[in-house]
Amino acid sequence: MKRLEIYVDGASRGNPGPASYGVAIKKDDGGGYIEFHEYLGVATNQVAEYEALIRGLTEAQNFRAQEVDVYTDSQFVTRQFQGVYKVKHETMKALMARVRELEKNFKRVSVHHIPRSSHPGNKIADKLANIALDKAGK
């Protein structure tokens, strides 16, 4: 059974402001990470965090993972995913609907809150989000 460990981070300079995300998927052999980042335009930090989660789950699907453990420093996204916080805002409802649709492709998806920069994977995801903003000149 293929299990993936994914680190995601969203960034917004201004909130709302120029936004991006970074995703780091731990390689099966433990030898580093597969990295993704994207500039999103103007968005809030929460939207950027959700977009990072969506990209992480999309890539996990492309890798044919069956189980996914996602790690994020966003307590907001983690608690909404776990059902601790209600999803109230229409934008967040639409993003969560995309997450739930992707979740159906796996036997298990867990989203874990970790403190900012507490793990090398989290540091990489944060760096990637900032690279995307820097490349966009934001």
Domain boundaries, the chain: 3-135
Of 5, 6, 24, nearest to 130 by C-alpha is 24
Bridge partner list, 63: none
Q: How far apart are CA 72 and CA 114, in angstroms?
A: 6
Residue 97's pLDDT is 98
Quick check: 30 pLDDT over 80?
Answer: no
Instruction: Tell the CATH superfamily of the 3-135 domain.
Output: Ribonuclease H-like superfamily/Ribonuclease H (3.30.420.10)
Place of tokens 């969506």: 54
Is 8 buried (19+), middle (13-18) or exposed (0-12) by CB count in 10 A? buried
For the chain, the average pLDDT equals: 95
Q: Give the pair of three-digit tokens for residue 24.
A: 């780091």
Residue 110's pLDDT is 98
Sign of CA dihedral 76, 77, 79, 85: positive
For the residues 58-71, what does the mean pLDDT come to?
A: 96
Write down the pTM of the prediction. Answer: 0.96
- In the chain, % of residues over pLDDT 70: 99
Residues 33 and 124 sit within 8 Å (Cβ to Cβ): yes
At 102-126, the pLDDT tens digits run 999 999 999 999 998 788 999 999 9
Q: How far apart are CA 35 and CA 61, in angstroms?
A: 15
Quick check: 92 pLDDT over 90?
Answer: yes
For the residues 61-65, what does the mean pLDDT come to?
A: 95
